[in-house]
């Protein structure tokens, strides 16, 4: 009888620590915020503090909108259980199994308790992408060929396209529209900032309101995945349940912030429009325009007086 040979990774694998795209976004935002703080003393007027708060708030909104498109914690779930480590083996391990769902794919983690068991380091974080219709199945097939641990493959199997759970279609559809609407929110956020720098403040307020609506609609689109048929992920007597994660609630807080700010600014604009223009540093421009009109009127009156005197 031939001795059974189990697949192993040929090279030492570094476990997932952080997403480099998120780090790049954080660094860019921190550098931009530091730049605003450095140039703050060069801004004249009593509203320099309001200007800084407005810039930092707008920067926070834009950073959240971009970052949540790449995060992996829109929906999360973890359990601690004892389960089979490899296929066709009776070896059991005590491990923590995690499911991390984002807009671009799903991460499945397996961490041993303790990490070193069965003369191996059990610390896995595998990503399965659904950016295209068949990409997830390709990643799953590659995982089978590389010999991933049985718990990772068992969870990943629930999301393949031909799974009886039918989670693949529901998640791909909901995350696709959520990501698209979130990018629409980013575009409206850019337009609102451009309009706030021009004497069209009311349109900037409208675009900020559109940003809030897009974020909330994106969250609703992702939440529709809860309407999918329930497919429990069992590990013995325990079930892996998922809940909305940090990215979902952070997006909800950001959308609510945009909605509150836009409603407050719109209310002030309808009652006291001069206050809004003063807050956004357009008071001096109005005074300059009024002064110019007065000078033109006075020069016109002087010309009329000179003409009348010459006629006399």
pLDDT per residue as tens digits for the range 166-198: 788 888 888 889 999 999 999 999 999 898 888
Q: What is the pLDDT of residue 170?
A: 85
Average predicted confidence (pLDDT) for the chain? 80
**HEC letters along the chain:** CCCCCCCCCCCCCCCCCCCHHHHHHHHHHHHHHHHHHHHHHHCCCCCHHHHHHHHHHHHHHHHHHHHCCCCCCCEEEEEEEEEECCCCCCCEEEEEEEEEECCCEEEEEEEEEEEEECCEEEEEEEEEECCCCCHHHHHHHHHHHHCCCHHHHHHHHCCCCCCCCCHHHHHHHHHHHHHHHHHHHHHHHHHHHHHHCCCCHHHHHHHHHHHHHHHHHHHHHHHHHHHCCCCCEEECCEEECCEECHHHHHHHHHHHHHHHHHHHHHHHHHHCHHHHHHHCCCHHHHHHHHHHHHHHHHHHHHHHHHHHHHHC
Higher pLDDT, 111 or 231: 111
Q: Minimal CA–CA distance to 208: which of 175, 254, 252?
A: 254
Q: What is the mean pLDDT of residues 87-112?
A: 87
Q: What is the pLDDT of residue 1?
A: 41
Cα-to-chain-centroid distance, residue 171: 17
Mean pLDDT lowest for which of 6-15, 142-151, 276-285?
A: 6-15
* Cα–Cα distance for residue pair 273/287, rounded to 1 Å: 15
Q: What is the pLDDT of residue 10?
A: 47
Mean pLDDT lowest for which of 37-46, 74-83, 262-271?
A: 37-46
* Cα–Cα distance for residue pair 155/303, rounded to 1 Å: 87
Q: Binning pLDDT at 50, 70 and 90, where does residue 14 land?
A: very low
* Cα–Cα distance for residue pair 237/62, rounded to 1 Å: 44
Sign of torsion over alpha carbons 142, 144, 146, 150: positive
Q: What is the pLDDT of residue 61?
A: 93
Mean pLDDT lowest for which of 98-102, 160-164, 285-289?
A: 285-289
* Cα–Cα distance for residue pair 299/264, rounded to 1 Å: 42
Q: What is the mean pLDDT of residues 81-105?
A: 86
Q: What is the pLDDT of residue 303?
A: 57
Q: Binning pLDDT at 50, 70 and 90, where does residue 236 land?
A: confident
Q: What is the mean pLDDT of residues 245-269?
A: 93
């Amino acid at each position: 009888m031939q001795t059974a040979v189990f697949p192993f990774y040929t090279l030492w694998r570094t476990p997932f620590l952080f997403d480099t795209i998120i780090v790049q976004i954080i660094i860019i935002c921190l550098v931009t915020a530091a730049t605003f703080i450095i140039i703050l003393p060069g801004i004249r007027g009593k509203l320099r503090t309001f200007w800084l708060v407005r810039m930092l708030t707008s920067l926070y909104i834009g950073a959240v909108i971009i970052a949540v498109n790449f995060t992996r914690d829109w929906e999360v779930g973890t359990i601690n259980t004892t389960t089979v480590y490899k296929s066709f083996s009776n070896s059991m391990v005590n491990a923590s199994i995690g499911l991390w769902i984002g807009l671009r794919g799903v991460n499945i983690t397996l961490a041993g308790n303790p990490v070193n068991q069965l003369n191996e380091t059990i610390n896995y974080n595998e990503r399965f992408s659904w950016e295209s219709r068949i990409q997830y199945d390709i990643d799953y097939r590659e995982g089978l060929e590389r010999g991933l641990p049985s718990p990772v493959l068992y969870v990943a199997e629930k999301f393949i396209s031909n799974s009886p759970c039918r989670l693949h279609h529901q998640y791909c559809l909901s995350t696709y529209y959520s990501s698209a609407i979130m990018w629409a929110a980013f575009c409206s956020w850019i337009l609102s900032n451009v309009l706030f720098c021009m004497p069209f403040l009311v349109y900037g307020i409208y675009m900020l309101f559109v940003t809030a609506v897009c974020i909330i609609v994106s969250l609703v689109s992702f939440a529709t995945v809860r309407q999918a048929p329930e497919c429990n992920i069992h590990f013995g007597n325990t079930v892996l349940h998922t809940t909305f994660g940090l990215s979902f609630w952070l997006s909800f807080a950001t959308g609510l912030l945009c909605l509150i700010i836009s409603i407050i600014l719109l209310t002030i604009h309808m009652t006291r429009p001069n206050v809004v223009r003063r807050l956004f540093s357009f008071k001096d421009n109005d005074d300059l325009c009024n002064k110019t009109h007065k000078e033109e009127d006075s020069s016109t009156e002087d010309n009329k007086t000179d003409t009348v005197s010459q006629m006399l």
